[in-house]
């Protein structure tokens, strides 16, 4: 039994100090992280110049302009083609990528397109410009059917964007959304 109870060999001084040194380095690292990432209660911050009257810089809003007559024409033609499901070849040329939703031209021509239809004869179509900038516009469109039509008046938002540059610039319909579109829940169940 005495063979198993031999005294341990003497450890060198550095072997005894190593765990204490490691703990000291770890403590210094934790303190450094706290100083760097926990806000000070004194109100002072590092490397920030304080002034009595700071300058607030806000992004410039685009300049509003009158709705381009060409944009109005594109909106009208879009309603008479895509929305009414007539002359879908022309509707394709007036539609932006958001409306097309990766449909091919051949698929578009079938009429099964992501545009809410309004196929009743239309009496009048008043438009209200919500905003109009050089390259973007949003109009509210009321589609009022003729008396006795099967559909009721529909109100839609029609967004237009100008794409291209110079002589190649043209207006496209970017979105067509009914005013009474159902809300999409934040966390759908199922």
Mean pLDDT of 131-152: 91
pLDDT at residue 11, as a whole number = 65
- Whole-model pTM: value is 0.64
Quick one: pLDDT at residue 60?
Answer: 78
- Yes or no: say if 65 and 132 are a contact pair by the CB < 8 Å rule: yes
Q: How far is CA 108 from CA 55, 87, 92, 95, in A?
A: 52, 11, 7, 11
Mean pLDDT for the stretch of residues 32-51: 66
Calpha distance 70→145 (Å, rounded): 25
- Given a cut of 70, whether residue 41 has pLDDT beyond it is no
Contact assessment for residue 127 and residue 141, using Cβ atoms and an 8 Å cutoff: yes
Domain topology for 69-178: Nuclear Transport Factor 2; Chain: A, (3.10.450)
């Amino acid at each position: 039994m005495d063979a198993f109870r031999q005294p341990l060999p003497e450890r060198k001084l550095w072997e005894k100090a190593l765990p204490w040194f490691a703990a000291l380095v770890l403590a210094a690292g934790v303190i450094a992280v706290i100083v760097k990432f926990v806000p000070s209660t004194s109100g002072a911050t590092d490397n920030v110049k304080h002034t009595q009257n700071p300058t607030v810089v806000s992004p410039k809003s685009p300049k509003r302009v009158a709705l381009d007559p060409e944009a109005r024409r594109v909106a009208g033609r879009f309603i008479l083609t895509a929305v009414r499901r007539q002359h879908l070849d022309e509707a394709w040329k007036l539609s932006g990528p958001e409306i097309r939703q990766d449909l091919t031209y051949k698929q578009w021509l079938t009429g099964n397109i992501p545009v809410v239809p309004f196929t009743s004869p239309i009496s009048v179509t008043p438009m209200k410009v919500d905003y109009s900038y050089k390259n973007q516009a949003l109009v509210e469109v009321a589609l009022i059917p003729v008396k006795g039509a099967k559909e009721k008046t529909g109100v839609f938002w029609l967004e237009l964007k100008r794409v291209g540059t110079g002589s190649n610039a043209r207006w496209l319909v970017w979105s067509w959304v009914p005013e009474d579109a159902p809300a999409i829940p934040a966390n759908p169940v199922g």
